[in-house]
Amino acid sequence: MDYLEKAGRVLDIEIFELKRLRERLGENFSRAVELIKDTVDARGKVVVVGVGKSGHIGAKIAATLTSTGSPAVVLDSSNALHGDLGVIADGDIVLALSASGETEELLRILPAIARFQVRIIAMCSDPKSTLAQNAHLFLDVNIEQEACPLNLAPTSSTTVMMALGDALAMVLLEARGFNKEGFAKLHPGGMIGRSVLMRVHQIMRPRQAMAVVSTNASVRDVLRAMTSVRAGAAVVIGEDEELLGIFTHGDFVRHFQSDPRIGERLVADLMTLNP
């Protein structure tokens, strides 16, 4: 078996289906963006619901929306009729995912969802399906073929769903003016969050936690000062407390290799000037 050929076939099929999705984008997509935008601007949220693989894709879409400034939650369809409908509030918008539009567990909770003052967007493959007919808006995710050689395992269908969810989230992001600062605010633990939000005062050492020495200090004195504050470097200052240089633990190690008596030398002779 040629594994690379088989893998290439999978990717070719999914690329083909994504191109078909691109060609089908139309007014309903724009309306969906506007509906979600209006909901979020009015402090409502997106409630995402799906079953099986569609449920997994829905969870990812909800996470992407939430992390880009549009609050979203996942409704567990299996527990919806046993109290979990409480995640829905009037004014929310429901994004319901089902490849066929006929998923029994999802259809079972539609009447209960309809009792709320919410709009429903159906992401499925058949505009005549029960789900689409009970929704306010239909987003078409139909495919010609799954990438599965048996044409059974959800592959192309889930890829198309996820891509359309990404498109919704990213267009919505721009429509709502969500910027890098907003992203950083929601991702303080990530690199972007740290680079945008972190300030020098949050990570710098205050004067009392620094090793500060004068130019006439010996290297031995400098090491003692560094050790006392657990610092890897010492700053060397002049008579007016202006910064003249810096001496690091690395400097000590490098000089010690050529001069074991470095401890008696003045730091002024070995420091890095104008750091």
Per CATH, which fold does 205-273 belong to? Answer: CBS-domain (3.10.580)
| DSSP characters over 163-187 | HHHHHHHHHHHHHTT--HHHHHHH-
pLDDT tens series, the chain, 275 aa: 999 999 999 999 999 999 999 999 999 999 999 999 999 999 999 999 999 999 999 999 999 999 999 999 999 998 999 999 999 999 999 999 999 999 999 999 999 999 999 999 999 999 999 999 999 999 999 999 999 999 999 999 999 999 999 999 999 999 999 888 888 778 777 676 667 666 777 777 888 888 899 988 999 998 999 999 999 899 999 888 898 899 998 889 888 888 888 888 989 888 888 87
Q: Please tell me the predicted confidence (pLDDT) of residue 268.
A: 87
What is the distance between the alpha carbons of residues 238 and 214, in angstroms, rounded to a whole number?
A: 6
Cα separation values, 271 from 3, 234, 238, 253, Å: 60, 9, 13, 13
Q: Which amino acid is at 263?
A: G
Contact 164, 140 (CB under 8 A): no
Q: Give the DSSP H or E segment for 76.
A: none
Q: Please tell me the predicted confidence (pLDDT) of residue 241.
A: 85
Is the overall model pTM greater than 0.95, yes or no? no
Domain boundaries defined on the chain: 3-179, 205-273
Other Cβ atoms closer than 10 A to 56: 16
For the domain made up of 3-179, the CATH class stated in words is alpha beta
What is the distance between the alpha carbons of residues 66 and 72, in angstroms, rounded to a whole number?
A: 5
Reported as half-sphere exposure (CB side, CA atoms, 13 A), residue 177 has a value of 1
What is the distance between the alpha carbons of residues 168 and 36, in angstroms, rounded to a whole number?
A: 9
